[in-house]
Amino acid sequence: MNSTILNVFPSDSGDQRLVLAQETDAAGTITLVLRQESRSPHVGWFVQSRIAIEPNQVAALKMTLTSNLVKEVKETTSPEDAPAVISFRTAMAG
């Protein structure tokens, strides 16, 4: 499975974050995934929960995220807070 991080949304605590990722399985099926991750000093970042967004939900999510309310929140975020985007590949055992 290949996974590409599209965006990272840090929390105020610094030990929690949301990650929006695109995952592609061996058959080429692409899934948009929202992950809640936590950070441990011993392990690093790890996934607490994962929600796959179905294709028919993407348009509604996009409409919600581009609403005026989200635009107002976006304008308050400084460029220094912008996350780095990292693409990586995971190998499936088998």
CATH class of 2-77: alpha beta
More confident residue, 60 or 67: 60
CA angle 84, 86, 92 (to 5 degrees): 155
pLDDT digits (tens, 9 = 90+) for 29-64: 889 999 999 999 999 999 999 999 988 888 888 888
Instruction: Please give the pLDDT value at position 66.
Output: 79
Q: In which order are the strands placed within the sheet that holds 16-24?
A: 44-53, 30-40, 16-24, 2-10, 87-89
